[in-house]
């Protein structure tokens, strides 16, 4: 499901409070084990299409 958004990226998707704790506190080797594919049924696309918000620099200037 993530492939069409970025074919080379492997996002870290944290699904439990325990995973948040590992990602933020564990040694790198352990934390990086959370960088794994999840079953498609665990993911849901909530927005599609081009972004409509301005980059932070443009918003601050305008």
Mean pLDDT of 33-49: 80
pTM (global) more than 0.75: no
Residue 4 has pLDDT above 90, yes or no: no
* Residue 8 parent element (H or E): none
Question: Using CA atoms, how far apart are residues 56 and 24, in angstroms rounded to an integer?
Answer: 26
CB 31 within 8 A of CB 21: no
How high is the pLDDT of residue 37?
A: 80
Mean pLDDT of 25-50: 85
Residues 14-33 have pLDDT tens digits of 889 999 999 999 999 999 99
Residue 57 has pLDDT above 70, yes or no: no
CB 23 within 8 A of CB 32: no
């Amino acid at each position: 499901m993530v492939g069409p958004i970025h074919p080379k990226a492997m996002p870290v998707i944290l699904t439990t409070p325990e995973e948040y704790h590992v990602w933020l506190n564990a040694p790198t080797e352990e934390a990086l084990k959370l960088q794994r594919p999840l079953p498609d049924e665990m993911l849901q696309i909530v927005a599609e299409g081009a972004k409509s918000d301005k980059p932070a620099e443009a918003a601050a200037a305008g």
